[in-house]
Structure 1
Amino acid sequence: MGPAMPILEFMKALKNGRHFFLIAGAMIAVLVAGNAIGTIYYGKKEALELAFGKGAQVEILSLFLTDSQVEEIEQLARAKLESKLFTFYVGRNEGELLGYAAIESHTVRTKPETLLIILTSRGELDKIYTLAFHEPPEYQPPQRWFAQLYHRQITELNLNYGIQGITGATLSSRAAVSSARKVLAIYQVVIKEKY
């Protein structure tokens, strides 16, 4: 018996009552509102245009990390990787390297957030955009907050050590910093010398 079963039984019991439609409408409104938290700002195509501009040629770089690479990346990033598979996007314009991008998803509190993390052609953290955020909006870091992370070395990406946290959104800011460190670490360990 699924979680919706008691609600269905309750509605059947009320079916003969005159308040059925009022109560049923209120229950549906509550269920819909409970699932409506979260915003998707950009799709993948829009995200890659944010990263490299319209008309750029985008190469998909699928990385299958070895155990030793995972260990090195986790030490450098001071964060755990959830998978040995990671995808980078490489942007070019008429053969000229524009930079790299990664789409990083993680759980903030109990719901997911997806960030677009953009690196310059030299592998520096250039921009971060929120692609989707499913926690309550008050926990979402504003775009101007991300600016303090740009063009810092991976060792300088520490909350409260040169990077201001966000009151009421500590987990979100920690997750964003951790994602940026992971992307930078993967770039340094796997991509920097090979591409």
Structure 2
Amino acid sequence: MRDLSRIILVVSLVTSGWLGTAEAKIFHSRESALKVAFPGAERIEHRNVFLTPKQVEAVKRMSQAPLQTSLVRVYVAFKHGKVFAYGFIDTHVVRTLPETFITVVGIDGAVLGVHLLAFQEPLEYMPAKRWLGQFRGKHLKPSLRIRYDISGIAGATLSALSVTRGVRRVLALYRVIFGRK
């Protein structure tokens, strides 16, 4: 009887909002994400790239981050008839739940922007736009890490680490696929 009372109490608190529930948040559909990522683009194409085992290992080595698949979708944005940026959507687990963001890379290999598309962990651990902005202009190099080129997020260390690993992975993919630094 006492256990039943506890169950009823917990269910009541959860349904009334007194105890936290999962706060999954989706910010953009694929279409709206591409508009945010590539403002002013005349055309956006996508290309599916199948990485060889050697390329997969190169991405892992350069990024020092895991790569779950050898199939990569790259969004290519055009302005005035020329390519001006590439976008890579990255989904990975932060702690126990996924987050998705798009990293936009310029033709020089520098990050043009990182935009959060979905975040399934509790929202208090979500990286702020201002924090994501510190990736702008960064290239893949050893110092592209938390406590070096990138500041951490107090109370959300796993979120900061996972985004930083994801951006490193995207920059390594860019180098391997397009052969540019």
Asked if TM exceeds 0.5, the reply is yes
Match of 2:158 in 1: 171
Query: Which structure 1 segments of 5+ residues have no match?
Result: 1-9, 11-21
State how far apart, in whole Å, the 1-side matches of 2:159 and 2:169 are: 15
Q: Note if contact 1:123-1:192 (Cα within 8 Å) is conserved in structure 2.
A: no
Deviation at 1:122, TM superposition (A): 2.0
**Which residue identity does 1:177 align to in structure 2?**
T
Match of 1:119 in 2: 105
In structure 2, do the counterparts of structure 1 residues 160 and 63 end up closer, same or farther at CA, with 3 Å as the change threshold? same
State how far apart, in whole Å, the 1-side matches of 2:80 and 2:99 are: 33
1:87-111 Cα shifts (integer Å, max 9, x gaps): 1100012412120001100000111
- Say which structure is richer in helix: 1
If the length of structure 1 is used for normalisation, what is the TM-score? 0.79
If the length of structure 2 is used for normalisation, what is the TM-score? 0.85
Q: Note if contact 2:110-2:138 (Cα within 8 Å) is conserved in structure 1.
A: yes
2:59 pairs with 1:73? yes
Deviation at 1:52, TM superposition (A): 1.5
Q: CA RMSD in A?
A: 2.3
Q: Note if contact 1:115-1:129 (Cα within 8 Å) is conserved in structure 2.
A: yes
Question: How many residue pairs end up in the alignment?
Answer: 171
**Which residue identity does 2:168 align to in structure 1?**
R
**Which residue identity does 2:38 align to in structure 1?**
F
Q: Note if contact 2:65-2:165 (Cα within 8 Å) is conserved in structure 1.
A: yes
State how far apart, in whole Å, the 2-side matches of 1:103 and 1:136 are: 21
**Which residue identity does 1:187 align to in structure 2?**
Y
Deviation at 1:161, TM superposition (A): 1.5
Counterpart among 144, 147, 158 of residue 160 in structure 1: 147
State how far apart, in whole Å, the 1-side matches of 2:108 and 2:176 are: 14
Counterpart among 35, 38, 46 of residue 24 in structure 2: 38
Match of 1:6 in 2: none
State how far apart, in whole Å, the 2-side matches of 1:97 and 1:80 are: 28
| Within-5 A mapping of 1:128-139 | 128-139=114-125
Query: Which structure 2 segments of 5+ residues have no match?
Result: none
Sequence identity percentage: 33
2:73 pairs with 1:87? yes
Q: List 4+ stretches of structure 1 deviating above 4 A.
A: 33-36
Deviation at 1:137, TM superposition (A): 0.9
State how far apart, in whole Å, the 2-side matches of 1:55 and 1:124 are: 18
In structure 2, do the counterparts of structure 1 residues 93 and 35 end up closer, same or farther at CA, with 3 Å as the change threshold? same
**Which residue identity does 2:75 align to in structure 1?**
Y
Deviation at 1:124, TM superposition (A): 1.0
Deviation at 1:86, TM superposition (A): 1.0
In structure 2, do the counterparts of structure 1 residues 61 and 27 end up closer, same or farther at CA, with 3 Å as the change threshold? same
State how far apart, in whole Å, the 2-side matches of 1:160 and 1:94 are: 39
- Between 1:149-158 and 1:77-86, the stretch displaced more is 149-158
In structure 2, do the counterparts of structure 1 residues 163 and 27 end up closer, same or farther at CA, with 3 Å as the change threshold? closer
Give the number of the structure whose alpha-carbon radius of gyration is greater.
Answer: 1
Q: Note if contact 2:109-2:139 (Cα within 8 Å) is conserved in structure 1.
A: no
State how far apart, in whole Å, the 2-side matches of 1:26 and 1:50 are: 40
